[in-house]
Amino acid sequence: MTYSILPTSGEHAWILAIFLPLLAGIAIVWVLWRCFRYLTGPSGGNDGKLARTEGSYAFVLCVKVVVRIGMGLYNRLRFEGVEHIPLVGPVMVVANHSSMVDGFLIGTGVPRPTHIMVKREAFENPVKSWFLRKTLAFPVDRERPDRTAAKCALRVLQNGEALGMFPEGTRTVLGKVRPFKPGAIRFAIKFKAPIIPGYLANTHRWMPDGCVFPRAVPITVKFGEKLDVAAMLAAGKTEDEIQHELYERVCALGREVSGEDVRDLSAEAGAHSA
């Protein structure tokens, strides 16, 4: 004889018909509410468990493949000068910043895992925070000195890894290159790490303000010859002089790619705090 703890027929079947859908509905609403609270919580991704998310080289490789194939087909993405990037030892890669996709382009173009310094605001959404940390990105507070970000950047170079930075401090909407923030290359100076200049062409047109879908504009990422920081310091160059040389190198790459002067020395420069 077979017994069931749930009524399946007769006068008690209405219990299942009413209460099971009701319980399922309550469970779904509760899960959705918890997800909403989690995704929009004030602590975002900078506190708690997500802040301890470890980067994954396998995850980085997957992102590289997706970017190369996807943007290669859609944006005719090209990388030039990759041979200038050392495959071992500490190195800093520096480029202009015009789009939210710039970090992924640098990470894809550099032929080794690269830790990218990204504005803290990008980590406020926990899901986005998890994704960024998996791709080796780490947050920096642009409004005040950030000792945690500085320690992270120094640790990257100390471990002989690659560090990616955008020394303008914010995005620019016109594709011009603003003067670099003071102290932007201090990490490379401390470890006498070589610096690779880079220029990302047309990324400011990829998804400008008001655009709901990326545009199919051709994008080129060009890397230049390294700045030998150790040799420049030995020759008596100051940090400011090295940074000025780096700025000129980045702008020179921009002229080679775009055929025009990409320097923007104005005070406003059309910056976009994003």
| Of residues 130 and 10, more confidently modeled | 130
Query: What is the C-alpha to C-alpha distance for residues 193 and 162, in angstroms, rounded to an integer?
Result: 10
Query: What is the C-alpha to C-alpha distance for residues 130 and 139, in angstroms, rounded to an integer?
Result: 12
Predicted confidence (pLDDT) at residue 7 exceeds the cutoff of 60: no
CA-based max dimension of the chain: 95
Max mean pLDDT among 10-14, 44-48, 54-58, 82-86 falls in 82-86
Q: Which helix (H) or strand (E) holds 118?
A: strand 114-119
SS3 95: strand
Instruction: Please provide the average confidence, as pLDDT, over all residues in the chain.
Output: 86
- Work out the pLDDT band at 125, boundaries 50, 70, 90: confident
Query: What is the C-alpha to C-alpha distance for residues 15 and 10, in angstroms, rounded to an integer?
Result: 11
Q: Which helix (H) or strand (E) holds 107?
A: helix 102-109
Lowest mean pLDDT among 25-34, 38-47, 178-187: 38-47
Query: What is the C-alpha to C-alpha distance for residues 192 and 194, in angstroms, rounded to an integer?
Result: 7
Predicted confidence (pLDDT) at residue 182 exceeds the cutoff of 60: yes
Which ranges constitute the DSSP H helices of 6-93? 13-39, 57-74
Query: What is the C-alpha to C-alpha distance for residues 177 and 127, in angstroms, rounded to an integer?
Result: 31
- Work out the pLDDT band at 22, boundaries 50, 70, 90: confident
Give residue 112's pLDDT.
Answer: 96
Please say whether the beta carbons of 106 and 93 come within 8 A: yes
- Work out the pLDDT band at 36, boundaries 50, 70, 90: low
Lowest mean pLDDT among 48-52, 55-59, 105-109: 48-52
Superfamily name and number for 53-272? Glycerol-3-phosphate (1)-acyltransferase (3.40.1130.10)
